[in-house]
Amino acid sequence: MRLTSFPNFWLLFALITLIAIYPVVNQYAGGRAFLALYDGVILLLALRASRKAWYQPWLGYAFAVPAMMLYAAVALFGHEELVAVHLLAQIVFHGFVVICLLRYMLHDDVMTFDELFAAAALYVLVGFVFGYCYALIEHVQPGSFYINGPNNPDNTTSWWDLLYFSFTCLTSVGFGEITPVSDSARSIVMIEQTTGVLYLAILISRLLTMQRQR
């Protein structure tokens, strides 16, 4: 059994690695350039993992290429006017991959190892999708999220802060140091909280059903 036959394993591994190295690497200009390239690798892995779904190959590239180009433009050249478009492209592409992985995971009555990795990668990608949604809201409506003073000495709300907040909502942990202030931010938070609970319930129910059938 070779790991090369499990594209969703590599996607999950790349996502977890990004979360682990981001705080250290993002402090340096060269590190930010590396993150831009690494994000491109993740997008390609996501595209490869989602190919087992129903769509035509050109459709995946139509979402992936603009997302990669806009990420590189913002990360390397700092085009602030492209930030909103970049965030929207990331939301669309990651959401597309989530839908593809969900269909792949649910398409038959046998849960393979790759489908288990797809289930885990899908869960992590949902956190990224909502993290980008929060970043877009904060970009369009600054001050939509409030971070407690001791946890935010520089008084800025970064994408990393909002990604962290996304996972606290998705897992229903809710530490409380980041608070949605605007109505639009609270609406998306409620959707993510519901999504996280329902996804785990549906996944566990499916696994139990397949076990009974077996």
What pLDDT, on a 0 to 100 scale, did the predictor assign at position 213?
Answer: 63
Determine the Cα–Cα distance for residues 112 and 115; give it in Å rounded to an integer.
5
Residue 173 has pLDDT above 70, yes or no: yes
Those residues whose C-beta lies under 8 Å from the C-beta of residue 55, and which sit 6 or more positions away, are 100
C-alpha Rg value of the chain to the nearest Å: 18
**Helix/strand/coil for 214:** coil
Token digits of residue 112: 């393979």
pLDDT in tens, 16-63: 999 999 999 988 877 877 887 888 888 888 888 777 655 666 777 888
Does CATH place domain 3-213 in 1.20.1050.10? no
Token digits of residue 207: 């696994």
Summarize the confidence of residues 167-195 as an average pLDDT.
93
Q: Which amino acid is at 175?
A: F
Return phi, psi of residue 26, to 5°.
Answer: -70, -10
